[in-house]
Structure 1
């Protein structure tokens, strides 16, 4: 059993009150000998009972063993009560104090465990709400994106895989009016660590590349659709693999996809 679970189980309170069998007492003693947390908890319970007993019978001096002996009986007995101030009256007060302390400690431990469970449930609820909110946001963003790329006047250019990665592919949705391009990079493999994909706008005669931007956070973007700004008179688009941060000019040996804009 986990030590924390063992401590909050209530067995230590019963041990302190002398309400366990001999076998159970030996088991608790063994646990206390092996685990300092158990010993500390037993001492704390005994201290609480002593303090409560002193508050009930301030004129009587007893140690904890004497208090426990007064209530640790196997059979209940009828105690004749005469008047306040007799020894038996004090014993009843001690017994009530101990039993009250045990009850309070039991309730405290149970409430502590319940509060821990409630806090865990609250954290799970917040996490679920966050996941739902993220899913809703993602759905809204996807819907907006689909509506955008389906607008009339959007130019669509397919980019085919090149020598370094023949199976790669991508698509460019170009909104010339708003000077934006949306890169669908689902057909590109994940870039190696320290590398990033860079999109290029190309003029073909003479061949003039201009950087459109980087496909950053590639791995964490499940949709692999990236919005970039493009104010160029593009005749073609290409995507190369570059060192993190991008390059001033494309590394042609790492040209993954290329496509000509249809007229």
Structure 2
């Protein structure tokens, strides 16, 4: 599209004056969204017409009663007007009406344009946040894959117990940095007011140490969680406890249990 030719065509002046059809107004409006130079030209035309209408506007109201008397007087067949001053007066009044109507429509369109620009900027910011979150999740996923594929990682399958025999989970223990990664995809959603609590166990004598509770189980779609574990663990267990966790495991609510493979 030749922007300069379009601007010089005169259609923007008609747009500002409100003399275009609804479809033509929509076409000009769409082009203003796409081409800042067209929007700038419309704003300049508005400013020029406002200045023009102010200079041509009558200093006093039109005397409609006087005109009526002349027209109804049977002895008067012709209304004599000063061709120069009256033409300018009525032209200025008409221009003001046309420009006023056009400017009212244009101001509404400008307001809509500003709203659209604000919406676009908001959507852009939201998209940027989503992209950044996706990058963070991708980096986290790559890191997790590197962890579970490391030959030095200790993998401990946890089998379902009497409380829920179909449950299962997997612990990936990185002894080098005292961290465990838990894959809890095989656990059911905990009931309201309950949380899963993870335990590190020494088997002889049986000594449980809490590694913490899984408070965001419902919010995490992947059901992968990371906890600190600086213990000399021989086994791991997961119980269902009241929100906030328990000092010692509730064995009746032991969902999964698994011991390290013997060396």
> Normalized against structure 1, the TM-score is what?
0.68
Query: Is residue 262 from structure 1 mapped to residue 261 from structure 2 by the alignment?
Result: yes
Residue correspondence of structure 1 range 118-157 to structure 2 within 5 A? 118-157=117-156
Structure 2: which 5+ residue stretches go unaligned?
1-16, 19-51, 66-80
Structure 2 equivalent of residue 83 of structure 1: 84
What is the deviation of 1:194?
A: 2.0
Structure 2 Cα separation of the partners of residues 56 and 83 of structure 1: 13
Runs of 4+ residues deviating >6 angstroms: 52-55
What is the deviation of 1:211?
A: 0.2
Question: CA contact under 8 A between 1:81 and 1:89: conserved in structure 2?
Answer: no
What is the deviation of 1:130?
A: 1.8
Structure 2 equivalent of residue 109 of structure 1: 108
Question: CA contact under 8 A between 2:57 and 2:96: conserved in structure 1?
Answer: no
When the two chains are superposed, the root-mean-square deviation of aligned CA atoms in Å is 2.7
- Tell me, what secondary structure is at the counterpart of 2:145? helix
Structure 2 equivalent of residue 222 of structure 1: 221
- Tell me, what secondary structure is at the counterpart of 1:94? helix
Question: CA contact under 8 A between 1:241 and 1:256: conserved in structure 2?
Answer: yes
Query: Is residue 61 from structure 1 mapped to residue 57 from structure 2 by the alignment?
Result: no
Structure 1: which 5+ residue stretches go unaligned?
1-12, 15-51, 67-79
Deviation string 1:141-200 (CA, Å, 9 cap, x unpaired) is: 010111012222211110011111111100011111211111111111121222211100
Structure 2 Cα separation of the partners of residues 212 and 57 of structure 1: 83
Structure 1 Cα separation of the partners of residues 236 and 168 of structure 2: 12
Structure 2 Cα separation of the partners of residues 62 and 192 of structure 1: 81
Structure 2 Cα separation of the partners of residues 260 and 150 of structure 1: 20
What is the deviation of 1:58?
A: 5.5
Query: Is residue 201 from structure 1 mapped to residue 200 from structure 2 by the alignment?
Result: yes
What is the deviation of 1:97?
A: 0.6
Relative to 1, partners in 2 of residues 1:53 and 1:173: Cα closer, same or farther, differing over 3 Å? same
**Count of aligned residue pairs for this structure pair:** 199
Structure 2 Cα separation of the partners of residues 81 and 244 of structure 1: 93
What is the deviation of 1:246?
A: 0.9
Structure 2 Cα separation of the partners of residues 58 and 89 of structure 1: 9
Structure 2 equivalent of residue 47 of structure 1: none
Question: CA contact under 8 A between 1:54 and 1:60: conserved in structure 2?
Answer: no
Structure 2 equivalent of residue 245 of structure 1: 244
Structure 2 equivalent of residue 94 of structure 1: 93
What is the deviation of 1:60?
A: 0.8
Structure 2 Cα separation of the partners of residues 186 and 232 of structure 1: 24
Relative to 1, partners in 2 of residues 1:106 and 1:118: Cα closer, same or farther, differing over 3 Å? same
Relative to 1, partners in 2 of residues 1:81 and 1:97: Cα closer, same or farther, differing over 3 Å? farther
- Tell me, what secondary structure is at the counterpart of 1:60? coil
Structure 2 Cα separation of the partners of residues 208 and 122 of structure 1: 57
Question: CA contact under 8 A between 1:158 and 1:170: conserved in structure 2?
Answer: yes
- Tell me, what secondary structure is at the counterpart of 2:143? helix
